[in-house]
Amino acid sequence: MKTHPLDKALDLVHSDIQAGHFTGATSPDYWNMVGPFGGMTAAVMLQAVLRHPDLLGEPVAATVNFAAALGEGAFEVLAVPVRTNRSTQHWTIQMSQAGADGKLHVTTTGTAVTAVRRETWGTNDFPMPEVPPPSAVEPMQIGPKGVEWIRHYEMRPIIGSIPSRWDGSGDASETRMWLRDAEPRPLDFAALMALSDTFYPRVWLRRATPVPIGTVSLTTYFHTDAALLGDVGTGYLLGRATGQQFRNGYFDQAAQLWSEAGALLATSSQIVYFKE
């Protein structure tokens, strides 16, 4: 049976150094110009938590800080449950890679919270926007050369597609689009983590100017459980992203992801560096 590209990229080998210590390697399928797609790096960090033998519950939140560029090749990930309570568990995560000096250097740090969820009262104060169905929206064309990761997602922009002219005329930062894995794959938490970072930089849309950027920190909140993800299966998600403040070389980017049935599955926020 053929292995899905995402599962290849998420493949981690549990070492015998200590519980929660894994080795892996970057995937050319999710390459992004000069390094891995940030959403995939975040998904790998979360995967280390999900693979830990002492895991309690399911993800509630995950934060990934991109401290340095991750190069092509092997890396190591260490996930540590620093505090376990009756129903919640708190984690630190660290990714390292050997440098030119042969020594391990930290490239990525993170934290996560997992929990045993219980049935309670609930409501949604951020309903899914009214949009046309996926079948009524044209898929986005393949992205620029060197951005391989885009080829592994099916994206159908409704509004806020990447500018066709870089002329500085942008006046809004909102994107709405249907998206899913290009090669069908049942949705899980690691895939949802990666999907939360599939929106191109808001500053490009707001300015219609392709300035250099780099995500500094990404946080994703999960409003779902494994059963609901199972109901989504290989279906589309509606994604919405917008910027809120652009100032002094940084901007934030907020996003929401709904199932086709209207369930809010995840929200995320990231802070991004940009250069004139």
Segment 236-247 shows an average pLDDT of 97
Q: Is the pLDDT of residue 252 over 90?
A: yes
What average pLDDT does this structure show over 50-65? Answer: 98
For residues 242-256, average pLDDT: 97
Closest to 256 (Cα-Cα) out of 123, 127, 154: 127
Structure tokens at 107: 């490239």
Average model confidence (pLDDT) across the chain? 95
**CATH number of the domain at 5-117+140-274, please?**
2.40.160.210
Most confident of 31-40, 159-168, 235-244: 235-244
Whether 270 and 218 have beta carbons less than 8 Å apart is answered as yes
Is the pLDDT higher at 88 or at 143? 88
pLDDT digits (tens, 9 = 90+) for 58-86: 999 999 999 999 999 999 999 999 999 99
Please report the pLDDT score of residue 124 as a whole number: 92
Lowest mean pLDDT among 168-172, 227-231, 232-236, 247-251: 168-172
Helix (H, G, I), strand (E, B) or coil at 80: strand
Q: How confident is residue 145, by pLDDT bands cut at 50, 70 and 90?
A: confident
Lowest mean pLDDT: which of 12-26, 55-69, 79-93, 142-156?
142-156
Q: Give the pLDDT confidence of 187-208 residue by residue, as tens digits.
A: 999 999 999 999 999 999 999 9
Domain ranges within the chain, ordered by starting residue: 5-117+140-274
Q: How confident is the model at residue 1 (pLDDT cuts 50, 70, 90)?
A: confident
Q: What pLDDT, on a 0 to 100 scale, did the predictor assign at position 86?
A: 95
**Higher pLDDT residue, 143 or 115?**
115
% of the chain exceeding 90 in pLDDT: 93
Instruction: Find the mean pLDDT for residues 236-259.
Output: 97
Whether the CB-CB separation of 19 and 54 falls below 8 Å is answered with yes
CA distance 9 to 12: 9
DSSP state of 222: E
- Alpha-carbon distance of 76 to 56, in angstroms, equals 22
Res. 186: pLDDT tops 80: yes
pLDDT of residue 16: 83
pLDDT digits (tens, 9 = 90+) for 95-118: 999 999 999 999 999 999 999 999
Segment 168-187 shows an average pLDDT of: 96
Query: Is the predicted pLDDT of residue 142 greater than 90, yes or no?
Result: no
Report percent pLDDT > 70 for the chain.
100
Partners of 237 in beta bridges = 179, 259
The 10 Å Cβ neighbour count of residue 56 is: 15
Given a cut of 80, whether residue 144 has pLDDT beyond it is: no
What is the C-alpha separation between 274 and 131, in angstroms, rounded?
31
